[in-house]
Amino acid sequence: MFNYKMRSSHTGNNKSARAESREPREEILKGGLDSACQQTNLLVFNKKEFKLKGSLSMYSNTTINKLRVKVFVDESTQRAKEKYQALVSATHRILSKFPNAFDGLPAIEIYFGSDIGAEACWSPDSSAGTPYLILGDRTLFRTNKKIAGQDDLWGMGALGPRGVADQMYDKKRLNKTSPIRWFSEIMGVYSASKYEEKVTAVIIHELGHIIHGCNPLSLTTFWKNKKIGARLVSSRIAEQVSSYTQGNNHNEFVAEVFTGIACGKLYSPEVIDLYEMYGGPRPSY
């Protein structure tokens, strides 16, 4: 059973409300009813809510490429296998460029849901907090195609600013006349290969936040970057990385550059210097 406080208004029986958490935490799973009459659970981090549906079960409790994980899945999640596969690829890519990236990290609790975004969260939301990873379909499987004529790197997408993960998705897109595309469409793997690339890159981005925020050497920088009034990423730098970094805080910049490096991109000395200045882990090329 979960070490969360639970409250269920579903049955009117408050037994589960008394399920004691083994350790006190800020986040709470609240029971309720959604329109489909399912039990709905809210995972709350620093007032941010992630809606999980139905009961949660343990999907995996293991070490993947040196990263200790406890993966939980809710009843609505259909694509757990794809996510887990991408998690394995993400850890593999990270280690290929950052061999010590997972050293000293606690076991990370990861939540797979369907109707939620993807985010690295801390509980409590401070340098003393424990990191958690939310991996929802809403971010992982959302495509944000570049608006025609916009720049590959810093162009905007139909749904707004695009990140390195969207650039990785683009790399897997093939021209409609490409025989490889025809073949992979016939085999039914064309769409899957684009998503695999995007989901892997989103997970690298989120793990990048966790690595950045947990490294004793960059811990202070990370929490300073999150503060209101912290310096934001300039256009000159953003246009070398992604439109998502433009005007965002430098933790987003670090996570984006981290993702790019893990996926084989090269950046200018100016970008790398700034990345290291804001606490980005140093790669071994």
Where on the chain is the footprint of Zn ion (CB under 5 A)? 252, 255
Nearer CB in complex with Zn ion: 53/209: 209
- Is there a cis peptide before residue 179, judged by omega within 30 degrees of 0? no
Shortest distance (Å) from residue 48 CB to Zn ion: 13
In angstroms, what is the minimal distance from the CB of 97 to Zn ion? 18
C-beta of 163: minimal distance to Zn ion in Å? 8
Q: Which of 270, 277, 245, 246 is nearest to 259 (CA)?
A: 245
Tokens of 10: 């579903």
Nearer to Zn ion, 30 or 212 (CB): 212
Q: Count of CB atoms within 10 A of residue 124's CB?
A: 13
Residue 190 Cβ vs Zn ion, minimum distance, rounded to whole Å: 28
DSSP E strand boundaries for the chain: 6-7, 29-30, 40-45, 48-53, 57-64, 67-73, 108-113, 118-123, 130-136, 156-157, 160-161
Could you tell me the two tokens for 186?
């016939």
Instruction: Return the closest-CA partner of residue 219 out of 270, 175, 169, 278.
Output: 278
Between 67 and 201, whose beta carbon lies closer to Zn ion?
201
Distance in Å, CB of 189 to Zn ion, minimum:
29
**For Zn ion, the closer CB: 6 or 108:** 108
Nearer to Zn ion, 76 or 243 (CB): 243
Q: Could you tell me the smallest distance in angstroms from the CB atom of residue 186 to Zn ion?
A: 36
Using alpha carbons only, what angle is made at residue 74 by residues 68 and 78, rounded to the nearest 5 degrees?
Answer: 100
Which residue type occupies 171?
Answer: K
Minimum CB distance to Zn ion smaller for 30 or for 83: 83
Would you give the distance in Å from CA 173 to the centre of its chain? Answer: 22
Name residue, tokens 């050497």. 217
Structure tokens at 80: 């757990």
Query: Could you tell me the smallest distance in angstroms from the CB atom of residue 252 to Zn ion?
Result: 5
Helix and strand totals (H; E) in the chain:
9, 11
Residue 214 Cβ vs Zn ion, minimum distance, rounded to whole Å: 15
Please enumerate in sequence order all residues whose Cβ is within 8 A of that of 116, keeping only pairs 6 or more positions apart, or say none: 50, 51, 52, 134, 136, 137, 138
The CA distance from 157 to 144, in Å, is 5
Q: Which CB sits closer to Zn ion, 41 or 249?
A: 249
Residue nearest to Zn ion (CB): 255
Give the residue with the Cβ less far from Zn ion, 109 or 252.
Answer: 252
